[in-house]
Amino acid sequence: MTSTTAPAREFSLPFRRLLHARESGVFAALVLLFVLGVFLSPSFAQSDNLLSVGQQVAQIGIMAVGVTFVILNGEIDLSVGSTYALSAISTGMLISDGWSWPLAMLVGLVVGAVAGLLNGLAVVVLGVPSFIVTLGTLSVFRGVALLISDGAPISLSSSQPGVADFNLLGQGMLFGLIPMQFVIFAVIAVIGVVLLSRSRFGFNTYAVGGNQEAARLVGVNVKRVKLTAFVLSGFTAGLAGVLGLSFLSYVQGVTGQGMELTVISAVIIGGAALFGGSGTMWGTVIGVAFIGLLQNILNIKGISSFWQTVVTGLVIVAAVAADTWQRRRKTRA
């Protein structure tokens, strides 16, 4: 009897882990949402539509990867939308001034990383709560973007040297089928998964988010972990901004307003705890996919963008409520 039940238990163990994973509920909701989309519109499940969804969520997804590290540390970054605009503006201005697009892109990425570094330094050195810091830099970075561009939009023409090649990052298709933006998102997501689940930095991130003082006592450099998380958040926001410019060939100082809320929503819906220490990168990917499919379904049905905002807000509240209920249940157990 023992010889037959033991293998069965070993075989069922991965399924038990999947069943009890925080992301399993979100994944189940994603599957149900997909089924609902198929039921509401025959064109929903067509490859063209799904690839379009992938392209639409790519920038949000890239930013969400970086923000995940910040939230798992028990912090928040409200400035990613402004960082997105600042990096895009910086890159666009340099390309317009005749810089080669790879060098201009590199500057845009550095701008994003520096913005994240400034946020991190204010949090770990000055001790200011990240909510206050990033609420302030949300305005500061936006203001800088408006100042350096003099409030004027920046448009790139394909007739400019190198612009056509630069546009391939945002508009190109891998094998003529898969949007390059989605490919870049997939690469960034895989890197995020490896960093979070297979590296010492990922282990330290969970330790700091779970109990900062305990992490410090066992030798974790708490300040370095948090600072790195903010730099990653700024870098991914800068990368998304560069891709946004490449896709539209257009950017202005107000670009990216409100993106921070969508990004944070994806991370929270994906199962990350607002107070840190709990969540996975796969959960974030699922959260990004959920928001993308939800918005796509609402668009297909012709639902007003105002109602889309209401629905997204209700989903966020439901996700946080479910997380709170689960935590209380574990505490009582």
Chain centroid, CA 45 distance in Å: 24
**In the prediction, which pLDDT does 20 show?**
45
* Predicted local distance difference test score (pLDDT) of residue 227: 96
d(CA 278, CA 70): 12
Amino acid at 207: A
**pLDDT tens column, 26-76:** 888 888 888 988 888 888 888 888 888 888 899 999 999 999 999 999 999
pLDDT, one tens digit per residue, over 144-198 is 999 999 888 999 888 788 888 889 998 888 888 889 999 999 999 999 999 999 9
Angle between helices 180-198 and 281-300 (to 10 degrees): 150
Q: What is the pLDDT of residue 323?
A: 65
CB atoms within 10 A of CB 106: 15
**Looking at the predicted structure, is the pLDDT value of residue 3 above 60?**
no
Query: Average of pLDDT values for 240-257?
Result: 91
297 CB-contact burial (10 Å; exposed 0-12 / middle 13-18 / buried 19+): buried
Position 230 scores a pLDDT of 97
What is the C-alpha to C-alpha distance for residues 164 and 173, in angstroms, rounded to an integer? 14
Contact assessment for residue 280 and residue 196, using Cβ atoms and an 8 Å cutoff? yes
Long-range contacts of 99-104, Cβ-Cβ distance < 8 Å, separation of 24 or more: 100/162, 101/162, 101/163, 101/165, 101/166
Q: Is 128 left (phi over 0), alpha (psi -120 to 50) or beta?
A: beta
Instruction: Give the pLDDT band (50/70/90) at residue 11.
Output: very low
What is the length of the chain?
333
* Torsion angles phi and psi, residue 150, rounded to 5: 55, 30
Neighbouring residues of 2: CB distance < 8 A, sequence distance ≥ 6: none
DSSP 125: T
The two structure tokens encoding residue 95:
């390309």
Domain spans of the chain?
Answer: 47-256
Q: What is the enclosing helix (H) or strand (E) of 72?
A: helix 47-72
List pLDDT tens digits, range 281-326: 999 999 999 999 988 888 887 888 788 778 777 877 777 777 667 6
pTM (two decimals):
0.89
- pLDDT tens digit sequence for 87-135: 999 999 999 988 999 999 999 999 999 999 999 999 999 999 999 999 9
232: left (phi over 0), alpha (psi -120 to 50) or beta: alpha
Residue type, 180: M
| Per-residue model confidence (pLDDT) at position 21 | 56
- Confidence at 19, pLDDT banded by 50, 70, 90: very low
Within 8 A by CB and 6+ apart from 104, the residues are: 90, 91, 94, 95
Burial of 305-314, coded b for 16+ CB within 10 Å and e otherwise, reads eeeeeeebee
